[in-house]
Structure 1
Amino acid sequence: MEDQDLTPEKSFELISQVINEAKLRFEENGFIYVLWGLLGTVAAFGQFFLLKNGYNSINYNPYFLMPLGAVYTGYYYYKKGRVRKNQISRMVSFSWTAVVLNILILGFLLAGVLKQNLIPVILILVGIGTIVSASAIKNRLILYSGVVINFAGLACFRLEWIYQPLLLGIVFAIAILIPGIILMVEHKRRQNV
């Protein structure tokens, strides 16, 4: 293999190419944002409905959609096949894997410890994952979504517990579902150009 000196221009071009590849994969994965936006919105509004109607003993049941979503996400990526990932794509994948595993552990194993702080902590984790993804691929829409999610998580600590699922559902709809739809539309528009 021949050693080549990279000029600053070639280095910048290579970095830009890697970022653009990750952006394309990320936009294509707007589907995953739509999936998780829907699951989160439905589960949170379901919990709020159960709480408001006195079903306190089963109010967490809608969140059993989440492990199903995790299994489906794994199946979705398995079905897509093994795609060669660059370093940025790997970083985003690993960060989301860590976020999701932490949320599942917190939600299903440590909910009794966190009690009324569970939803704010989940929002903060999702906000961090979203900000990491956005900064890796330089997407302002997703970055702003991550900031909104993070601030909502912080504000949620001050919200009466019964209304936390309502805020969670609204945030998932506005900051995950809608940007996911926008990413999918942009990706399809680029494919048809």
Structure 2
Amino acid sequence: MEPDKISPEKSFELITQVITQARNRFEENGFIYIFWGILIPITSISQFILLKNEYHDINWYPYFLIPIGGIFTGYYFSKKEKNKHNQISKIVSFTWIVLSLNMMIMGFLFAPALKENLSPIILILLSLGIIVSGASIQSRLLLFSGIFINISAFLCFYLEWIYHPLLMGIVSIIAVLIPGIILMVQHKRK
């Protein structure tokens, strides 16, 4: 028995359909970009304020909100979409899970070893997630946002450490929150 052969046109149509489904999922969930685009600046700018006011012993406390945000994100997606996963959305979701776990492990366990390199490394990982998301759904907005975050990460290596959280907050507003709002608006117009 020969396997079914698909014409190039049918194959292209199938690929387009999968990409469109993934794009719709992420645009609809522009909410998650908005959520993280608010949570990251809150934690980062709070740390900056604590550092500037010389609360060095507790400056990292705001980051306890990040694992709570991760739990909320997992819960949100588990309730929202039971059977809407195609291969692209599975790959993007898995990529974000791995990147998020790595960012949290580095932030909570390896911060003393990474010292002033922690923020740039976390920004690099964040940029990879945004770039993969943008490439997978063919969103130039997310692709350019990821590139912007990546460039900011490398600039962060040259900043005085106390300004790293401030930069992270500003970058998250520009490259996570604003694109999330734009994606949600675009989806609602369709």
TMscore range, shorter length:
over 0.9
**Residue 102 in structure 1 maps to residue 82 in structure 2:** no
Letter of the aligned partner of 2:160 in structure 1?
E
Match of 1:6 in 2: 6
More displaced 10-residue stretch of structure 1: 144-153 or 181-190: 181-190
C-alpha separation between the residues in 1 aligned to 2:169 and 2:60?
14
TM-score (norm 2): 0.97
C-alpha separation between the residues in 2 aligned to 1:13 and 1:138?
15
Letter of the aligned partner of 1:160 in structure 2?
E
Match of 1:41 in 2: 41
| Deviation for aligned residue 1:97 | 0.4
| Deviation for aligned residue 1:3 | 4.7
Task: Give 5+ residue unaligned stretches, structure 2.
Answer: none
C-alpha separation between the residues in 2 aligned to 1:173 and 1:40?
8
C-alpha separation between the residues in 1 aligned to 2:81 and 2:138?
25
Percent identity for Structure 1 against Structure 2: 58
How much is the aligned-residue C-alpha RMSD, in angstroms?
1.3
* Pairing of 1:90-169 with structure 2 (within 5 A): 90-169=90-169
- In the comparison of the two structures, how many residue pairs are matched? 190
C-alpha separation between the residues in 2 aligned to 1:41 and 1:83?
32
Match of 1:67 in 2: 67
C-alpha separation between the residues in 2 aligned to 1:86 and 1:44?
34
| Deviation for aligned residue 1:5 | 2.0
Letter of the aligned partner of 2:138 in structure 1?
K
**Residue 178 in structure 1 maps to residue 184 in structure 2:** no
C-alpha separation between the residues in 1 aligned to 2:120 and 2:126?
10
C-alpha separation between the residues in 1 aligned to 2:82 and 2:2?
29
| Deviation for aligned residue 1:103 | 0.4
Task: Give 5+ residue unaligned stretches, structure 1.
Answer: none
Match of 2:53 in 1: 53
TM-score (norm 1): 0.95
C-alpha separation between the residues in 2 aligned to 1:47 and 1:85?
37
C-alpha separation between the residues in 1 aligned to 2:78 and 2:85?
14
4+ residue stretches of structure 1 with deviation over 6 A?
none
C-alpha separation between the residues in 1 aligned to 2:3 and 2:121?
49
| Deviation for aligned residue 1:78 | 2.0
- Give CA-to-partner distance per residue, 1:74-121, whole Å, 9 cap, x none: 111122141231110011001000100000100011111101110000
